[in-house]
Structure 1
Amino acid sequence: MRRRAAEVIDAGETLHTAAAALLADHRRAVDAVREAWAPLHAELARSELRRIPVDRLTHVTEGRLRVAAIEAAGLDTVQRVLDAGRHGLRQIPGVGQQTADQALGAARQLAEAVGETVAVHLDVDHPQPRTTALVAALQLLVEAGPDARRAVEAATVLDTGLGPLLDDARPAAGRLRMWFAGGERRERALAALTGIGRQTERAAADGVPVLLGQASVDLLRGPADEAAAWVDFELRSAEYYGLLAELTERAGGGPDPAAAQGFLPDALAERVRAQALDGTHSRVSLRGYQSFGARFALAQRRVILGDEMGLGKTIQALAVLAHLAAQGRRHFLVVCPAGVLINWTREIEARSTLRAVALHGPGRHDAFADWRGGGGVAVTTFQALTGFPELAADELGMLVVDEAHHVKNPQAQRSLAVAAWAARCAYVLFLTGTPMENRVSEFRSLVRILQPEAASGIGDVDTVAGSRAFRKAVAPAYLRRNQRDVLAELPELQWTDEWEELSAADRDAYRAAVRAGNFMAMRRAAYAEPKRSAKLHRLCELVAEAAANGLKVVVFSAFREVLGVVGEALGPQQPGGRLFGPISGSVPPARRQRLIDGFGAAAGHAVLLAQIEAGGTGINLQAASVVILCEPQVKPTMEQQAVARAHRMGQVRAVRVHRLLATDGVDQRMLEVLERKARLFDAYARRSAVAEAAPEAVDVSDTSLARRIVEEEQARLGAAR
């Protein structure tokens, strides 16, 4: 008995020691990151405070503080007030103790607020010693990966659980100790011995000792090579920034918690936070807002995740699937456009331990039978979905629908198929960054598939009342976060409208299109005569400038004809075959992915041509730092989606967007009409404190917009047929 007790205690002590050592190693790695980050963050905050005029202190104190004497003494910014301190302020004539204390208190309030909003940016093109130190410190933890996170979680449980049990079990290791321990102490020792045995056996069965050992090795590696650290950062900057945000959130620089939770009602947000999330089958570390998104999908079961492009909706969906797999679910189905099917299978394999099965092409029915027997995550298209037999009600663990706005028309065949599958599944997740493009009724139709009771609450009263009531009504089924609220580290997005005067040839082509009443021809008329096209000339200049700086460019147009013209103009200028595309709806998914991969892998400058409906959704183009839009788009969300393919989590350079526009023609008319549509989208699909619009303001269809513009241009030019 004593020998058995000693063995149990030894095993417990060995495990406890390994857990404590890992926690210490992890703490040192985390401290190294925070120590490298703190001076960078402090300098950013100081720089911001140096730009804030001292009279802002009056606003902080609601007019109670008079700063005229302080400003007259040369302390014209908030940072100078902080630098002066109480003693320096008291030396200013007319500034007493109360005024000095008030000024300093107000300055500290502003400093705290600034510290919570500024974020450290890591400039890969201009590394400095301090930013290099931070990247190197982060690399150690990034390289350790999700397994280290799980090891730390397991070590924390063991450290807090085994420690007290080992203390209580000491007497059981020897006869004399037990003899002198007393009855109550002996009972506690025996109970502790049982507890230690259970914990060590469970840890062994779960592979925890090996997990702890590997994590310790990973965290004890030597300092990273600086150049290698920067290369690794550029390849997976999203992981670096995500980890940095997590480790420094308490010290400021993290996203606003309310924004990260999509401004949901407090009671709902609290319930979501309480939802467990098992990461056993996950291979990626989630950011705070991503973890909340996954928990929201689990807690609410049937929801729309409407995060803005670039925030990692796919990762959040995979986290949900991984959790359900850990709970024993075996079959999952992802429905998506054909163009992103390959991307989904890659993400599943790279970011989870789940099996990916593509249900696409001639062998899709054999693949369906294989998936039904072996389980995993099946990925199929909207079109193929209609040809598969539905699973039993309890057989499908979760249905995920990517780019779910494709099923907004309740009468369409794809919508009916998705609704039928969703009706037989407890967990359904719709992913879309554009839940409402033109009509609130379309958004209501998505919610109706998921939560009919919530859809019934989105009535005309809510719509007329405006966006606040609308968002409150859909909160149980809808979560949306915006880049600007949760990705403070995103590099700058520089948007330039390039207005060009039409050449004589352009004007002739445009007038001919107007006379014919051909809206689409009007939109592409600026490229009808390539050699004399003002827009094309400017596009070539922008590409040449990007080439001189070694930058990658994505060119978007709604028209394949325009992309053909651009390709012919650029082809001779692109050395080494660095012109990729065009990507269009007719390009098979596999070839589309090869084009995107080739574009991303090309060293230095390259150009990718893409039709905006095909290349603006569901793909990642963060290799690009220049985006050129050949013409304005009919839908206000189309351009946002396209730009977000480049300006997204993982981008490390500023993104420059150039929209080519022709003066005094269809481009200008479109912008005038679409400005109202864009404001309305913000009011309903984003958080908004203004814009209480009526439902009829949303109803501007593509057809009515085209007809209106054609008629206006025919009247203006006197070119009616």
Structure 2
Amino acid sequence: MARPGQRKAGARRSAARDQRRVRHRGDIVVVLARAVREVEAATQRGRVTPAVRTQFQAVALLLREERARVQAEPSGSDSHRAEQLKRLDGIATILATTAVQDAGLLALLAEDAIASDAAQALKRDMLRTVGVEPAPEEVPPTETPAAPATPERRVVPQSVISRQMANPFLAPDFSAARERTARPRRLAGWELIGPLLSSFERAGGGDSACMPLPAPSSRGAVEGLALMPHQAQLVAAAAAGHRSFLLADEPGLGKTAQALVAADAVNAYPLLVVVPNVVKTNWAREAGRWTPHRAATVVQGDGDTIDGFADIIVVNYEVLDRHVGWLGDLGFRGMVLDEAHFIKNKTSQRSQHVLELSNRIRSRTPRPLLMALTGTPLINDIEDFRAIWQFLGWIDDAKPLGELMDALEDTGLTPADPGFYAVARRRVIDLGIVRRRKVDVAADIPARRIADLPVELDGPAGRSIRAAERELARRMVARYETALANRSAAAVVGGIDHDLVRRVARWELKDATTAQAGGNVFSMMRRIGQAKAGLAADYAAQLARSAGKVVFFAKHVDVMDAAEDTFARQGVRFSSIRGDQSPASRQRNIDAFVNDPDVAVAVCSLTAAGVGLNLQVASNIVLAELSWTDAEQTQAIDRSHRIGQTEPVTAWRIIAAQTIDARIAELIDSKAGLAARALDGSDEEVSSSADVQLEALVTLLTEALSAVPQSGAA
């Protein structure tokens, strides 16, 4: 076997041969291509020797330098430069895909990787091959300037570092962002932001607040799913070239699906989605449904578990401060801001981070897709539009920008002209404001539907609940194995004995209904309800601010108490309807919710307020805890979905992901028939609560047994 020195000499002789064949700078690509193919072949054979690593690093060093030289070269045509960069990017692709196959090669791509003397020497030889004399080697300074300090909480997840290391030469090209040609400004001396905001306050109640939208397209249909006509209209607008939207549809009209499919229609990947904490799991789930061919990842905490190579990155406002650094450099081609009214206070840290990210994307990416989603009606909180319009790139702190300024110039009017306000409002709306109400698209949506909202139970409460669930499964497995061991040999069956599983589940359910202590299925569901209470109340408060009155249902008094504490802290007025109230007190609370416009939420007991109430003043319902039957759930929804209701009703069911809560939700749906429940409102009782409880335990035990070897199996 040849020693490294012999291989190095061989490489130099090969370079000498190349020198006789190539005589101009452009042929460096030929040398690089040949060298990278040799490295690729050696890696595929599993023979990554020191000489191969030297050759790999030499190619990487020279490729980086050559790419920078081509980009900075003042002479030559744009087409020639683009052709050279395309050829270099092809080599970079091979280099990156080769690197991920070997950790040693991958480490050589890091920015702080030390270039070996052998790699530097080989790089110089490769340059001389094409007749280029290498620059004299620089003597490193005795002291390296300290890097600028970063905020203490800033982090860069390891998977993001791996992405950067694996693909350093195919990093986002920020040089292609569009530069606008300056126009003479007739309105340069006018203050315009105030009049633009005022134009919305002056509008009449019947004035349209929605841009013209094209006919619905068929884009967005995936197996088992299809966009509703009003959703498909927005996607068609994006596909036709529109790139900024203030999507202000009422809750329940599918803004999430519209944003995801619009991003897919214009290939706005990678896509950044910034959301409230309570809905980030749901965004990942919806991405899996509507764009299953695109990987989505959710940033939790410091981002230790994220997929750095995902197409869709979902992050919540609360942790944005830790991640804004690397997010700003990832090269996003689209950004979605859910519950965009969260940034209305421009002095807040969350608003500043959002605007910083938006500015980076707009300055580096030609025509990015920017979408601000909020259900807040356009006639309220006009000043809140400032931050949202700035996020979309329509204005800055002082003036309209780009397309909006051009549109105002073209009107020929000034704020002193009477017709300015109506025309200016129309120009802003045409930039991308889309507002539909449930009553506007009633034909598109069912009269009543249930939307599941999965949430992650983080922190000690979530860990405790998952530990209790594992303990319950362990206890049933032990009971199952004891019963199996006491059987005669003739009675033992191969694999899991499903009859025995069902009997063990019945024993556990009987014990749970007769004993109040211990980690049984009922105490576990109560603990899950307590853990969900704050998240469910937070979502109900968001709905109340954007869509009007909300009915909040819970099973347990302590869950109602926790929700009411959350509403009180957030300044949301509520009525409380419970089973221990006197008739007079109960009626006062009902009347306050129905008649007082400032009472935004009715906090109701699922059992005490699930029947006999008329709450059709609200069209949004939050089910903070699961009932054991679909009929009980339907009775609660029918407090709003009844004669006198003029809008479609949406029930938001809060589900604790990755817990028994999610299993029970699936069981309730399967027992009742999901299609009937969601589309025609069937409340037929097809199973008892005991059936669902038993099946939940059967499912839990079966999954636990499937994960471990079976005792006594034939």
Query: Shared topology, TM-score over 0.5?
Result: no
- Normalised to the residue count of structure 1, the TM-score between the two structures is 0.34
- Normalised to the residue count of structure 2, the TM-score between the two structures is 0.34
Which is richer in helix? 1
